[in-house]
Amino acid sequence: MSHIPGTRDEQHRPTRTSDVLVIGGGIIGLVTAWRTAQRGLRTTVVDPAPGGGAAQVAAGMLAAVTELHYGEETLLALNLASAHRYPDFAGELEEASGQSVGYRACGTLAVALDADDRAHLRELHALQTRSGLESQWLSGRECRRLEPMLAPGVRGGLRVDGDHQVDPRRLASALVTACERAGVTFCRDWAERLTVHRDRAVGAELRTGGKLSAEQVVLAGGSLSGRLGGVPAEVLPPVRPVKGQVLRLTVPPSHAPFLSRTVRAVVRGSHVYLVPRESGELVVGATSEELGWDTTVTAGGVYELLRDAHELVPGITELPLTETRAGLRPCSPDNAPLLGPTTLPGLQLATGHHRNGVLLTPVTGDALATSLTCGVLPDEARPFTPRRFSPLSQEQPV
Ligand code: GLY
């Protein structure tokens, strides 16, 4: 997916063939490959560093309820379907890989720091209630009783016991192992171009030369999905990168328990969240910046996150700051993923998950495996067909 030309030595590199070629080895590509291989298809993943990508930065909130937005009711149904699958998915993946994925059914508390924040949360609560979601309004005092480290100025909050977390780095690592054990082949290289023969996707050319061929190709390249060469313009996914800067702090045993659940707020219009892991890691995120391919960690980004997190939980200034990192969310025009067949035969998409990639991992794997083996998307994934963005289609965006 890079634009840097690679060397070609095709005479000496035979084409390797599979039933399914997945372009992109982030968590979405990996779960697609794992679920597909489990159904008996010979599956290859092409990626220079499988298990990398946005999952190395993401906090791993499974926030179907607290990240609900107006106009995204269809997406909510998919998010909830995936959230409900998480306990079984995590258990099955842990058994298949022999590794923990850090799934933690800890719940979330969304709090307000001033009158504007409280009005915003009241609106969110009304929307959640109308959508039939469980969410309980708490006074500031009740919030602090749950989480004593919260600032005294907290004015109220929403207790959402169904929004949990997983550790995306562990998730990615477990998926790599599960794929290996399920017989997935890894090609550690960049896919440079999609190969199209007689109006059908039939494989990919690699940056270092050589080709991979397959009956079906899945493009799961995260924010890079729109940059793969050789994809006809009308099929190229309309995915753009949205930068998120994230901090990692460490809670020493002497300060534990610091927070028992995810705590989040909207401070002066920006989302801030603190996600406490059992290991003592405390993830603070995230900025949301439309800056193209830039992944620089900036003083301003770190400052804003620390300032907002400090307003919420003043005690964080005592914790060691162990990591700062920026990643790119793959964002589509309607904030929802693109799943399943395109108008180019042989090419399916699994991309555009924006803020919900970790949450949507289980349902994406199931949807793509069904689509690749049976030729149809399951009901819950049908509204997310890439064809909704096709100029030739009558289907409307979600
Ligand atoms: N879902 C959290 C984020 O995208 O920052």
Q: 234-293 pLDDT, tens per residue? A: 999 999 999 999 999 999 999 888 999 999 998 877 889 999 999 999 999 999 999 999
Q: Is 261 in the pocket of ligand 1 (CB under 6 A)?
A: no
In this predicted structure, what is the pLDDT of residue 4?
Answer: 34
Q: Dihedral sign, CA of 33, 325, 105, 363?
A: negative
- Give the domain-ending residue among 314, 331, 348: 331
Round the average pLDDT of the chain to a whole number and report it: 94
**Confidence check: pLDDT of 304 > 80:** yes
Residue 151's CATH number: 3.30.9.10
CA 95 from chain centre, in angstroms, equals 22
pLDDT value at position 3? 36
Q: Is the CB of 243 under 6 A from ligand 1?
A: no
Residue whose CA lies nearest to ligand 1 atom number 3? 355
Same domain for 36 and 140, yes or no, is: no
Same domain, 175 and 299: no
Q: Which two tokens stand for residue 341?
A: 């067949």
The structure's pTM equals 0.94
Query: Which residue has a Cα nearest atom 2 of ligand 1?
Result: 355
Do 145 and 26 share a domain, yes or no? no
- What mean pLDDT is predicted for residues 33-59? 98
pLDDT at 395 over 80: no
Q: How far is CA 112 from CA 271, 352, 354, in A?
A: 11, 30, 25
Residue 179 lies in a domain: yes
Q: Which atom of ligand 1 is nearest to the CA of 271?
A: 5
pLDDT of 120-168, one tens digit each? Answer: 999 999 999 999 999 999 999 999 999 999 999 999 999 999 999 999 9
- 191-221 per-position pLDDT tens digit: 999 999 999 999 999 999 999 999 999 999 9
329 touches ligand 1 (CB under 6 Å): yes
Residue 361 within a domain? yes
Determine the residue of 72, 325, 355, 358 to mutate for testing ligand 1's pocket, defined as the one with the most ligand atoms within 8 A of the Cβ atom: 355
Q: Examine the domain organization and report whether 13 and 119 are in the same domain.
A: no
> Which residues lie across from 214 on neighbouring strands?
18
pLDDT at 16: 76
Give the pLDDT mean for 85-106: 98
* 286 Cβ inside 6 Å of ligand 1: yes
Last residue of a domain, one of 296, 315, 331: 331
Task: With respect to residue 147, please indicate whether it lies within any of the assigned structural domains.
Answer: yes
Q: Alpha helices of the chain — where are they, by DSSP H?
A: 27-38, 73-97, 115-130, 140-146, 168-181, 299-312, 361-374
Out of 293, 310, 331, pick the residue that ends a domain.
331
* Whether the Cβ atoms of residue 209 and residue 10 lie closer than 8 Å to each other: yes
- Residue 128 is encoded by which pair of tokens? 């959640």
Q: Which atom of ligand 1 is nearest to the CA of 288?
A: 5
pLDDT of the residue at 248: 98
For a pLDDT cut of 90, what percent of the chain falls above it? 90
State mean pLDDT over 363-369: 98
Q: Which of 17, 16, 23 is nearest to 1 (CA)?
A: 23
Higher pLDDT, 7 or 53: 53
User: What's the confidence (pLDDT) of residue 260?
Assistant: 97
Give the confidence band of 46 by pLDDT, cuts at 50, 70, 90: very high
* Torsion on CA atoms 167, 169, 172, 176, rounded to nearest 10: -130
Same domain as 189, residue 49: yes
**pLDDT of amino acid 7:** 33
Are 13 and 114 in a shared domain?
no
169 lines ligand 1 (CB under 6 A): no
pLDDT of residue 257: 87
Note whether 231 and 248 are same-domain residues: no
CATH number at 49 reads 3.50.50.60
Q: How many domains does the chain have?
A: 2
Cβ atoms 221, 351 nearer than 8 A: yes
Q: Which of 335, 389, 388 is nearest to 357 (CA)?
A: 335
Is pLDDT above 50 for 224? yes
Of 111, 54, 81, the C-alpha closest to 262 is 111
Instruction: Say yes or no: CB of residue 60 within 6 Å of ligand 1.
Output: no
**19 belongs to a structural domain:** yes
> 10 or 136, which is more confident?
136
Q: What range does the domain containing 322 cover?
A: 108-161+241-331
In this prediction, residues 310-329 reach a mean pLDDT of 97
Q: Based on the domain organization, do 226 and 279 belong to the same domain?
A: no
The protein residue with its alpha carbon nearest to ligand 1, atom 1, reads: 355
Confidence of residue 393 (pLDDT cuts 50, 70, 90): low
Asked if 308 and 321 sit in the same domain, the reply is yes
Beta strands 136-139; 156-160: pairing state: antiparallel
In a domain, 397, yes or no: no
Q: Are residues 224 and 182 in the same domain?
A: yes
pLDDT at 106: 97
Residue 14 pLDDT:
54
353 is a domain residue = yes
In a domain, 181, yes or no: yes
Same domain, 261 and 121: yes
Ligand 1 in reach of 55 Cβ (< 6 A): no
| 320 in the same domain as 260 | yes
354 lines ligand 1 (CB under 6 A): no
Does residue 139 sit within a domain?
yes
Position 270: which residue type? S
